[in-house]
Amino acid sequence: MDRFKDKVALITGAGAGIGRAAAQRIAAEGGAVFCVDLNEEAASETASLIVDAGGQATAHVCDVSDESSVNACIEACVACYGSLYALVNMAGMLRFDDTQMLESADWQKVIDVNLTGTLYLCRAALPHLITSGGSIVNAASTAALSGLPCGVAYSASKGGVLAMTRSIAVEYAKRGVRANCICPGDIQTDMARGIDFPASMDWELMPRIQSISGPKPPETVAGLIAMLASEDGVHITGEDVRVDGGTLS
Ligand SMILES: NC(=O)c1ccc[n+]([C@@H]2O[C@H](COP(=O)([O-])OP(=O)(O)OC[C@H]3O[C@@H](n4cnc5c(N)ncnc54)[C@H](O)[C@@H]3O)[C@@H](O)[C@H]2O)c1
């Protein structure tokens, strides 16, 4: 497939997990990929993997929660490749806290990275996406769709991403820009492996968080991201798609 031939994709969180898999997938489909991550080594490794496989990629360091860093990132992408067609916001963080013990700074950090960071990228990218007739794919979560005990900050951030994505989709539909989000669940990544639950966690209250068919690698999400970002998704906007192996079914 050549769905991204002569097209440019900027992917945040491209240093690991779903973001890396999406970067590799879009590059394999002919796209030039701007691989953005907080972790310089990880972003460079993704870019190297793509280039070694014959694709086109550039690594860029950016903290998505830093407004000026994000604005410079979008400018750097357009300076590098001349345009922007797909914005894929996968950078994110997860933490679990007993709600009564949740520190305001910890709440704010999750909101800053997951929600405000996604806004910063969308806002700075929109003028370029209007020019290219491109689209946005944001990372929400099954946590945006069902209650997650001890996950208030993460759930709120992902619920916000979902609502924000729908609003952008409606606001920009007439200007030719689409916006969708994905709701992954039980994907084997560093984030999923590194979960640290508080001692007060009551497992009886936990909804199903494991997929019926077992955990899956990030490549199982990459195809969906590529489809939504490509011409194949031309009539899909404001949508949230679960890719969770039936976790919430
Ligand atoms: N893995 C899952 O099962 C799952 C489920 C639901 C939602 N998600 C969402 O999908 C997205 C990708 O998750 P993943 O599992 O691949 O995570 P991951 O932890 O494997 O990768 C996240 C990447 O984001 C980068 N990052 C973190 N903070 C950043 C910042 N401030 N600026 C720039 N980069 C930053 C990290 O360095 C890392 O490379 C996240 O938004 C996550 O919330 C994942």
Question: Which segments of 111-151 does DSSP mark as H helices, in order?
Answer: 117-132
Question: What is the structure's pLDDT at 205?
Answer: 84
Rounded distance between C-alpha atoms, residue 228 and residue 135, angstroms? 8
pTM of the model: 0.98
Cα distance between residue 221 and residue 25, in whole Å:
10
Distance 226 CA to ligand 1 centre (A): 17
Q: What is the pLDDT of residue 119?
A: 99
Report the length, in residues, of the chain: 249
What pLDDT score was predicted for residue 83? Answer: 98
Residue 56 has what pLDDT? 98
In the prediction, which pLDDT does 200 show? 87
Does any ligand 1 atom lie closer than 6 A to the CB of residue 64?
A: yes
> From CA 46, how far away is CA 43, in angstroms rounded?
5
Which is the closest atom of ligand 1 to the Cα of 187? 3
**Domain ranges for the chain:** 8-243
- Taking the chain (249 residues) in runs of 10, the rounded mean pLDDT of each run is 96 99 98 98 98 98 98 98 99 97 98 99 99 98 95 98 98 98 96 90 81 94 98 98 94
Phi, psi of 232 (to 5 degrees): -60, -20
If you measure from the C-alpha of residue 67 to the centroid of ligand 1, how many angstroms do you get, rounded to a whole number?
19
- Which of the 8 DSSP states describes residue 6? T
Contact by Cβ (8 Å): 73, 36: yes
Q: How far is the CA of 228 from the centre of ligand 1 (A)?
A: 19
CA of 208 to the centre of ligand 1 (A): 21
154 is catalytic: yes
In ligand 1, the atom with minimum distance to the C-alpha of 91 is 24
Q: Which CATH class is domain 8-243?
A: alpha beta
- The reported pLDDT for the residue numbered 216 is 97
Give the distance from CA 198 to its chain's centroid: 26
CA 247, distance to chain mean position in Å, is: 19
- Ligand 1 contacts CB of residue 23 (under 6 A): no
Supply the pLDDT for residue 179. 99
Name the residue at shortest CA distance from atom 43 of ligand 1. 92
Pair 10, 59: CB distance under 8 Å: no
Q: Is the CB of 168 under 6 A from ligand 1?
A: no
Q: Whose CA is nearest to atom 17 of ligand 1?
A: 191
191 Cβ inside 6 Å of ligand 1: yes
Query: What's the pLDDT score for residue 124?
Result: 99
